[in-house]
Amino acid sequence: MNLELRHLRVVCAIAETGSVTKAASTLGLAQPALTAQLQRIERTLGGPLFERDRRGARPTALGELVLARARVLLPAMKGLQDEAARLAGAGDAPRRYRFGGVNSPILGRLVHRLAAAQPQAQITTHASWSVDELVQLVAAGRLDFALTGVCGDSTPAADYGLSWREVAVDPIMVLLPETHPLADRDEVALADLRHEQWVAAPGDGCFGDCFAAACARAGFTPRKVYEADVRGCVDLVDAGEAVALCQATFRPVAGLVTRRLAGTPLRWRLMLGWHPESPAAGMADLVVETALAAYTDALAPHPAYLAWLLRNPAFGLRRPLAAAIDPGVRTG
């Protein structure tokens, strides 16, 4: 058997987790399959790489040697793959835009504007609940831009060297059935929702922690939080089973209403990210301007919120609202 990079990843996973069983779970493999693979690796290298007992797996002297080399080779190969992906995309024609998004309120309008302005452009989208996954795909050159959000004053992870531009800041709102006793208010105190059940879309960001902290400040702990995709969230709210937090530009849904939370206990910052050394960096200014215009388009169905923004300039676009209105392509 020839030793391959995937075999080195196996050795590193066992060393990092301290257990073949835990490494199997991390790698998504069955434990017997990973054990058999480790045995083949050890036969190829000529000796045991780990001492295994009830306390776990500890590297032998040979294992330490292999780990030392693997920890140099694996990052070097990852860097080579990333650079190759960026170089391969440098001469693309026609222009290419590859977007990844997490519950983005402007992705559709952004794509529409770019497609209308550049009919020959190749535009693709990728959906993921994981901000980390999108960031890694951009860093690896498999996506050009990530549209995501962070709560409060948080910032996206800096581990992968992406450049980030803040597009807008919005207060988080609550989505209610129009028959809800609080639906006739312009804004709702979070404490008045202490007896409700909640529903939220999945994700790996800090928003769950921010929500829990906001509820604690309001004097309660959420009774129950369902997890569902966006359609499932809407259905649970429509059924009267739960209420949901939503972005201020959430598209209107018949039978449901969005209401501001009094005192704005939660804020959502819409961010656009790209790698500064990728070909996409040369298009970043254009994409940022288009994203700002797409956000302005997204305000059209929300005249009450637009009026509130004009009275609360700390929110909305990250430049004066009038300056972001593009006389070019518009969406309804």
pLDDT, position 97: 95
For residue 276, the model assigns a pLDDT of 92
Which pLDDT value is given to residue 93? 45
Looking at per-residue confidence, does 78 or 331 come out higher? 78
pLDDT at 89: 57
Q: Residue 226: which residues within 8 A CB-CB, separation 6 or more?
A: 197, 198, 199, 200, 232, 236, 241, 242
Q: How much is the pLDDT for 87?
A: 62
User: Taking a C-beta distance cutoff of 8 angstroms, is the pair 152, 267 a contact?
Assistant: yes
Contact partners, residue 150, CB within 8 Å, separation at least 6:
156, 205, 206, 268, 269, 271
pLDDT in the model for residue 330: 37
Give yes or no for residue 327 having a pLDDT over 50: no
pLDDT at 205 over 80: no
For 68-117, the pLDDT digits (tens) are: 999 999 988 888 877 776 666 555 445 889 999 988 889 999 999 999 99
Q: What is the pLDDT of residues 282-295, one digit of tens each?
A: 999 999 999 999 99
Q: Is the pLDDT of residue 325 over 50?
A: no
Rounded CA gap, 108 and 74, in Å?
37
| Average pLDDT value for residue range 124-153 | 91
The fraction of the chain above a pLDDT of 90, given in percent, is 67
Tell me the per-residue pLDDT of 237-294, one tens digit each, with 9 for 90 and over: 999 999 999 999 998 999 999 999 999 999 999 999 999 999 899 999 999 999 999 9
Domains plus CATH for the chain? 5-88 (1.10.10.10), 95-319 (3.40.190.290)
Average pLDDT of the chain?
88
| The three-state (H, E, C) secondary structure of the chain, written as one string | CCCCHHHHHHHHHHHHHCCHHHHHHHHCCCHHHHHHHHHHHHHHHCCCCEEEECCEEEECHHHHHHHHHHHHHHHHHHHHHHHHHHHHCCCCCCCEEEEEECCCCCHHHHHHHHHHHCCCCEEEEEECCCHHHHHHHHHCCCCCEEEEEEECCCCCCCCCCCEEEEEEEEECEEEEECCCCCCCCCEECHHHHCCCCEEECCCCCCHHHHHHHHHHHCCCCCCCEEECCHHHHHHHHHCCCCEEEECCCCCCCCCEEEEEECCCCCEEEEEEEECCCCHHHHHHHHHHHHHHHHHHHHHCCCHHHHHHHHHCCCCEECCCHHHHCCCCCCCC
More confident residue, 34 or 243: 243
CB atoms within 10 A of CB 5: 12
